[in-house]
Amino acid sequence: MHYDFIHWRGHTIRIKEIGRGKPLLLVNGLGGHTDMWAPLAERLTSRRIISFDAPGTGRSSTPPLPVSIAELADLAAAVLDYHNVISADVVGYSYGGAVAQQLAYQHPSRIRRLVLAATTFGIGSTPGCYRAMSVLATPFRYYSETYFERTADTAYGGRVGRNPEIRQRMIVARRRHPPSSYGYAMQVLGGASWSSWHFLDQIQHKTLVVSGDDDPLIPVANAKMLAQRIPQATLQIIERGGHLMLWDDARNLGRLIREFINAPEKGSHAGSVHASGHEVSAGH
């Protein structure tokens, strides 16, 4: 495991590298930091995993102004440059899914295969339920154990909403490097006017779109639309999966992602990626 800091466009960015093998870039969600990837990273041990704290999160510096999704895509490319990686498989989760889509559009040669988990195409997407969205309005869930416990089911659904033990493990990880209120606000504003709708049909990478049918924040309709618009996309719907499925169901999702990114090039995307016990839908 190796931590470092890079200087990028006036920001100080914390980066993390763990493991050996073919490179895999993980792009986190709103307010998330690199150490939160541990449950999923443990299921992807054959990979060289690279991640970073976006400006305003983790141990990266807080930006004075919002950093746009397009700029974050440039940052992701710069992180790959720092690690001398020409092309990597990329997993973008939630807000990080927006960054991953933008990276695929702006820097298509930097991505080999793309995984979009619990994410949307931005403006025009089907909104989540109001109570869940209101929880995301502030980073308070990163600070208060009581608040996270009280809102987990409403905001995230899935196993974290049903299992108190999983919630306790997540609380510890979240409180380790919580985002500042200002940094969190800058991240929210940075994505407020973003949409990938106009370029989704230009993403030519083999793409796995993953959605949980118990996600109050990101309804399945958004994943279906992404899979329909991206030419080489496969849609995987996780039964009873919530917004935090990469963490609270890391064993299943880790296997699913491994099968997708490790599949042979020829014929690897001819059909759906199968996950035992879960509903599978195919894109086109």
Looking at the annotation, which residues are catalytic?
Answer: 94
In order of 6, 135, 158, 161, 234, the CA distances from 215 in angstroms are 35, 14, 7, 10, 19
Residue 261 burial (C-beta neighbours within 10 Å; 0-12, 13-18, 19+) = buried
Helix (H) or strand (E) holding 156: helix 145-156
CB 217 within 8 A of CB 156: yes
Q: Which residues contact 52 (CB under 8 A, 6 or more apart)?
A: 13, 14, 15, 16, 34, 60, 75, 76, 79
CB 177 within 8 A of CB 3: no
* Residue 142: Cβ within 10 Å count: 23
CB 80 within 8 A of CB 104: no
Q: Which residues contact 121 (CB under 8 A, 6 or more apart)?
A: 101, 195, 196, 197, 200, 222, 225, 226, 229
